[in-house]
Structure 1
Amino acid sequence: MSNDHEAARASRRARAVGLLGLASGMGIGRFAFTPLLPLMQAEGLSLTAGSQLAAANYLGYLAGALACMAGHPRAGAAARAGLLGVAVCTLAMAVSPGLVMAWWWRFAAGVCSAFVLVGVSAWAMGWLAKAGRPAAAGGVFAGVGVGMAVAGGIAWVAGLRAWPAAPTWAGLGLLAAAVVVVAWHPLWEDATGPAPGPQGAAQGVPRAVWPLVACYGALGFGYILPATFLPALARLWVDDARVFGAVWPVFGGAAALSTVGAAPLLARHGARTVWAAAMGVMSVGVLLPVVSTQALALVLSAVCVGGTFMVATMAGLQEARRLGGAAPTRVMAAMTAAFATGQWLGPLTVGALARADDPITRPSLLAAAVLLLAVGALLWRRRPDVELPRKDPA
């Protein structure tokens, strides 16, 4: 950057566009289904069918991450394609004629969401690093929580006023389309210039990253149970729309605030320590519905999981970019693919382990155990990785 004014302007643009992009691509494209599930259940959708739609989105997210890993697209181009696709798929859910078509739209939305996460993250962190403000990434990743809180708030109002699910999907689709209009031009230019040529594209994921990839997959598996089913479980246990409808806005609000608050901790303690701590707290949130089905326990679970999963995501992707060399999008795509694999297996685990009289205990115990194993792996590998050079990747 030629001067402080240009650096500040670039930083503000990266944070604003990154926040909006993640709010749409993740808060709507990935997570809007969760608070809308109770509305769809009220119209006759079974929990089994809801699980199938959730799994479709996770499978699409995995496919999108693998496509980014194989194709190595420019960050801005991936983000633009993903944001446009999220808007189209969300609007399509409002007019989907049946479960089969809804399955394909949720799958496609998952593909597009992966493109958004990989593309927006790489684009925004590249500009922030170039501007000399990498710590401002917390403001970018807060976008996921903002999008979740907005989608959850809209679904909450829809539930209180007994609105159908279709117009609620349409309203969220229009919000996603507005983000496309705002973000389209800024995403045209990447901070790092064109993607590497054939030689750079052929480079694989560095060996030091693969243990982190496994831990990131554990994060996907561990968080997905409450992230998908917490509002539906709250509806099952607390027959008050004002209570179960508030769970997801609380979840999203905690996610938005946590990334901003965690930025100083990342600078002070390092990404892996913060990542491990976040997953430890998350395991507590996963177990809380097992201990108690009272409203307070459900809200605390939403805070523990919502307040940590984006901190862990931000820390993991920052490590991926630091270790990714000249091709950070490829490493981020590998991390995202592992995350998607874990969260795709999560709903299947619910189906395999849940009992009719107790759908939550055994899946939650397994999810918490996986999270704690990843915490141990991150802390065990922390010392060798801290000794790696910490040069600014820009």
Structure 2
Amino acid sequence: MHRSPFLLSLGGLLAMAAAMGVGRFVYTPILPPMVEAIPLTKSQAGLIASANFVGYLAGAVLAAVRLPGSRRFWLLSSLVATATCLFCMGFATAMPAFLALRFMAGAASAFALIFSSALVIDRLTATGNGALSAVHFSGVGVGIAASAALVALLLKADAAWTTLWFASAALAAAATLAVVALVPRDEPTAQPAQKPDGVRLTPDFVALLGAYGLFGFGYVITATFIVDMVRGTSSLAHLEPYIWVLFGLCAAPSVVLWTALGRRWGVLRIYAVACLVEAMGVAASALWLQPASILVSAVFVGGTFVSLTALGLVATRSSGGDPRGRIALMTVSFSVGQILGPAFAGYVYEATGSLATPLLAAVAALVFAAMLSLVADARQRAFSPSR
């Protein structure tokens, strides 16, 4: 069964919106009312975020195994699991339940990312429409913006934090139904009969893996705590309904911009530039808690983190070996950085009363990631003169 390339990319967008934009990142705008109502400490909030990323790691490892069934089956299963976990969060009342549900949601989001990327991007590339992969990845920003707007509206209506999870589950479920209609069954040739090639750990790919993990650490502290920082600072509190919406609105179109620059100037070079832009955004929130600086942080971090995810996965296509295995290994590296970031930030906050130190550590990680990306680029160009 065939779909037009645009409809297929739209299906990918909605899959990413449901699993990543809502399933993973709606925790950020829901976190402040959760912290106040339950209540939660910063370290507990960081642990819940890290549990999601541990699940993401587990899902990435499992997705690297050649599982029975089609890629579409696993994609749709992961989206159903995402909506279910979101719904159940509204009934949870204790840390073990929060940790378990966010772990399962993280595993589901990794499955959705890997299988939707393999399924949608492979088909788009095969039909000469690879540029539409930017539409697919923009789903993360679309999901963030849509769920953030939904949460903000419900908070204005004095909804409880539990209602925010139920509404987010309904949003993810609606997107899943659209994916069912837009993403057709796998083509007969989608699952090759031969055993896939192994992943070749070339020096350029090892450098890229390191850069991807450092990027995961570098963005996630801001992405987890920015709304909580805004609510907890009196001069910024009026920005709470808008800051995460802005974050998502900047993320959605950014993939088109950064991937276009990558095609023109080289994916790994632009990856390095985007890491440095993101580092400036993180530094803004670390050094100056003022309305202007927090807006800069939302624009710079929101406008790069999805693009860096996409650029990293695009770069893997030139590194040799089985594409799904490379994507899974990159996702593992990324998730290790994400696991460490929120837990580290939460515990440092408990010890110092400030997120400045972990945010500055994130800035250093992003600068180092930019350096490793340039190393990977130099290695690729040295051994591929035709480029």
Q: Please confirm whether the aligned pair reaches a TM-score higher than 0.5, indicating the same fold.
A: yes
Q: Is the 8 A contact 2:30 2:151 kept in 1?
A: yes
SS in 2 for 1:199: coil
Question: Among residues 339, 346, 350, which one is paired with 1:344 in the alignment?
Answer: 339
Would you say 1:203 and 2:198 are equivalent positions?
yes
Question: Among residues 367, 377, 381, which one is paired with 1:382 in the alignment?
Answer: 377
Q: Which residue of 2 aligns with 1:3?
A: none
Q: Is the 8 A contact 1:289 1:301 kept in 2?
A: yes
Residue 154 of structure 1, CA deviation? 1.3
Residue 167 of structure 1, CA deviation? 1.5
Question: Among residues 32, 41, 51, which one is paired with 2:46 in the alignment?
Answer: 51
Residue 197 of structure 1, CA deviation? 4.2
Q: Which residue of 2 aligns with 1:138?
A: 134
Quick one: structure 1 residues 321 and 72, their matched pair in 2 at CA, closer, same or farther if it must change by over 3 Å? farther
Which stretch shifts more, 309-318 or 241-250?
Answer: 241-250
Q: Is the 8 A contact 1:56 1:107 kept in 2?
A: yes
Which stretch shifts more, 62-71 or 248-257?
Answer: 62-71
Q: Which residue of 2 aligns with 1:247?
A: 243
Would you say 1:232 and 2:254 are equivalent positions?
no
The 2-side partners of 1:189 and 1:118 are apart by 16
1:101-250 matched pairs, under 5 angstroms: 101-184=97-180, 186-190=182-186, 193-197=189-193, 199-200=195-196, 203-207=198-202, 208-238=204-234, 242-250=238-246
RMSD (CA atoms): 2.3
Give per-residue Cα distances to partners, 1:138-185, cap 9 Å, x unaligned: 111110000001111112122222210112211111121122222125
Quick one: structure 1 residues 192 and 367, their matched pair in 2 at CA, closer, same or farther if it must change by over 3 Å? farther
Which stretch shifts more, 247-256 or 93-102?
Answer: 93-102
The 2-side partners of 1:19 and 1:312 are apart by 16
Which stretch shifts more, 334-343 or 349-358?
Answer: 349-358
Q: Which residue of 2 aligns with 1:68?
A: 63
Residue 242 of structure 1, CA deviation? 3.8
Residue 357 of structure 1, CA deviation? 4.9
One-letter code aligned to 1:223: Y
One-letter code aligned to 2:339: W
Q: Is the 8 A contact 1:126 1:192 kept in 2?
A: no
Q: Is the 8 A contact 1:82 1:116 kept in 2?
A: yes
SS in 2 for 1:195: coil
Quick one: structure 1 residues 214 and 72, their matched pair in 2 at CA, closer, same or farther if it must change by over 3 Å? farther
One-letter code aligned to 2:98: A
Report how many residues are paired.
383
Which stretch shifts more, 356-365 or 310-319?
Answer: 356-365
Q: Which residue of 1 aligns with 2:11?
A: 17
The 2-side partners of 1:14 and 1:323 are apart by 26
Which stretch shifts more, 135-144 or 239-248?
Answer: 239-248
SS in 2 for 1:23: helix
Which stretch shifts more, 251-260 or 173-182?
Answer: 173-182
Residue 253 of structure 1, CA deviation? 0.7
Residue 78 of structure 1, CA deviation? 2.9
Quick one: structure 1 residues 350 and 192, their matched pair in 2 at CA, closer, same or farther if it must change by over 3 Å? farther
- Unaligned stretches of 5+ in structure 1? 1-5
Provide the identity percentage: 31
Q: Which residue of 1 aligns with 2:349?
A: 354
Residue 352 of structure 1, CA deviation? 4.3
Q: Which residue of 1 aligns with 2:255?
A: 259
The 2-side partners of 1:369 and 1:191 are apart by 44
Q: Is the 8 A contact 1:89 1:108 kept in 2?
A: yes
Q: Which residue of 1 aligns with 2:310?
A: 314
One-letter code aligned to 1:258: S
Residue 186 of structure 1, CA deviation? 4.5
Q: Is the 8 A contact 1:138 1:262 kept in 2?
A: no
Quick one: structure 1 residues 240 and 306, their matched pair in 2 at CA, closer, same or farther if it must change by over 3 Å? closer
The 1-side partners of 2:154 and 2:236 are apart by 14
Question: Among residues 283, 286, 290, which one is paired with 1:290 in the alignment?
Answer: 286
The 2-side partners of 1:338 and 1:75 are apart by 22
Q: Is the 8 A contact 1:72 1:329 kept in 2?
A: no
Q: Is the 8 A contact 2:217 2:337 kept in 1?
A: yes
Q: Is the 8 A contact 1:94 1:169 kept in 2?
A: yes
Residue 12 of structure 1, CA deviation? 0.8
Give per-residue Cα distances to partners, 1:262-308, cap 9 Å, x unaligned: 23212101211111111111111111122211122111101110100
Which stretch shifts more, 81-90 or 91-100?
Answer: 91-100
Residue 70 of structure 1, CA deviation? 3.1
The 2-side partners of 1:134 and 1:336 are apart by 21
Residue 256 of structure 1, CA deviation? 0.5
Quick one: structure 1 residues 293 and 239, their matched pair in 2 at CA, closer, same or farther if it must change by over 3 Å? closer
SS in 2 for 1:184: helix
The 1-side partners of 2:6 and 2:115 are apart by 18
Q: Which residue of 2 aligns with 1:302?
A: 298
Would you say 1:368 and 2:363 are equivalent positions?
yes
